[in-house]
Amino acid sequence: MSELNKKGNALLQLLADGQFHSGEKIGELLGVSRTSVSNYIKGLQEIGLDIYKVPGRGYQSANPIELLDEKLIQRLSNHKNVKVEQILDSTNQWLLDKIPNLKNGQTCIAEYQLAGKGRRGRKWISPFASHLYFSYYWRFESGIEKLSGLSLLVGIATVNALEKTGIQGVSLKWPNDLYYQGKKLAGILIELNAQANEACHTVIGIGINVRMPPEQAKLIDQPWIDLSSLSEEKIDRNILSANIISELQTLLPEYEKNGLKAHLPRWFELDCFLNHPVNVLLAESNKAGICRGIDEHGALLLECDGNIETFIGGEVSLRLA
């Protein structure tokens, strides 16, 4: 399904309240047969919506659905450059395809990604209206020099935004993950378009698990968590998006000027592996040591036999020993 059609959309709006709606009533409202209703329901289930049928009562969405609202996010963040799309391949790709015609701060958020990207060609599971799929464009005038610490700064900005939204206790795993009690909550993917001696275009992608539908959870091959299981509060993706935009708008210009140095204390406060035995997974081998945080370029500091070795992000992964 490349786009929700009008009837699919009307059905979505109807089920958004989390109440039961009979097939007959839905058919009447959409002006279609009951068989067509069941096909529209299948279409919504295929894109990740958790919809049940109970004989005698009708269809119900397992949870009330709160859709993204472009105008609301613009108003809450006081930021006009926000585009909300229903279905895209990837919010990162949507922005990458528009370089170099973008203004700093252009934001793209989608309800669903057909081809959500993780690091190193991995797939990011992106069910409809369940999580946050957020991308933000920034042009670094000084070229690629500052970029080694960027995913760490974005991690800090995202934790700040979560805290403002009422979510406490989230930590960071070098170089690009947000963790909660040892489980992955969110990931950051930064993609670049850079030429030597020129400004560097960056697309900052952030995926945050908000409410994982059980069927989609089966596709994830490591411990994960979502916001709805770590907070009693209802999570409003519009407020969370606006808070992330505000954090990035504040932190990025300052980072571009001064780098990561001023943020080191915050990283050390949030680093979930600090002073723990870890393994650094390299392309050909593993390196064991104690995690000693990061330096001002965002490189990982690993203590091995009393010496400190440094590693930069890119193709390296970190695991608890």
Q: Which residues are catalytic?
A: 119, 184, 319
- Is the Cβ of residue 15 or residue 109 nearer to ligand BTN in the bound state? 109
DSSP string, 52-90: EEETTTEEEESS------HHHHHHHHT-S-EEEEEEES-
Q: Minimum distance between the CB of residue 1 and ligand BTN, rounded to whole angstroms?
A: 18
Which of the stretches 58-66, 201-209, 249-257, 278-286 binds ligand BTN when contact is defined by CB under 6 A? 201-209
**According to the binding rule CB under 6 A, does residue 104 interact with ligand ATP?**
no
Tell me, residue by residue from 96 to 115, as one string, x for binding to ligand BTN by CB under 6 A and - for no binding.
-----------------x--
Q: Which of ligand BTN, ligand ATP, none lies near 91, with the C-beta cut-off 5 to 8 A by kind?
A: ligand BTN
Q: How many residues of this chain bind ligand BTN (CB under 6 A)?
A: 21
Backbone phi and psi for residue 237, each to the nearest 5 degrees, phi listed first: -65, -25
Distances 245 to 182, 219, 227, 277 between C-alpha atoms, Å: 26, 29, 19, 35
Strand bridging mode 277-281 / 286-294: antiparallel
Minimum distance of ligand ATP from residue 37's CB (angstroms): 29
Do 18 and 66 touch, CB atoms closer than 8 A?
A: no
Part in contact with ligand ATP (CB under 6 A); list of ranges 123-131, 133-141, 236-244, 267-275: 123-131
Which H or E element spans position 294? strand 286-294
User: Rounded to the nearest whole angstrom, what is the least distance from the CB of residue 127 to ligand BTN in the complex?
Assistant: 12
Burial tier of 263 (Cβ tally within 10 Å: 0-12, 13-18, 19+): buried
Residue 258 makes CB contacts below 8 A (sequence gap 6+) with: none
224 binds, among ligand BTN, ligand ATP, none (CB under 5 to 8 A by kind): ligand ATP
Q: At its nearest, how many Å lie between ligand BTN and the CB of residue 186? A: 7
Tokens of 283: 């392309």
Q: How far apart are the first and last CA of the chain?
A: 43
How many angstroms from the chain centroid is the CA of residue 265? Answer: 24
Least distance in angstroms from the C-beta of 265 to ligand BTN: 25
Binding to ligand ATP by residue 211, rule CB under 6 A?
A: no
List the one residue from 59, 124, 128, 311 that touches ligand ATP (CB under 6 A): 124
Nearer residue to ligand ATP within complex by CB, 94 or 124: 124
Binding-site size, ligand ATP (CB under 6 A)? 18
Give the number of C-alpha atoms closer than 13 A to the C-alpha of residue 62, restricted to the C-beta side: 14
Nearest residue to 63 via CA among 49, 42, 45: 49
Stretch that binds ligand ATP, among 21-29, 70-78, 124-132, 260-268 (CB under 6 A): 124-132
Pick from 128, 142, 177, 113: nearest CA to 316? 177
Binding site for ligand ATP (CB under 6 A): 118-119, 122, 124-125, 131, 176-177, 184, 187, 207, 209, 220-222, 224, 317-318
Binding site for ligand BTN (CB under 6 A): 90-92, 113, 116-119, 122, 124, 133-135, 176-177, 187-189, 205-207
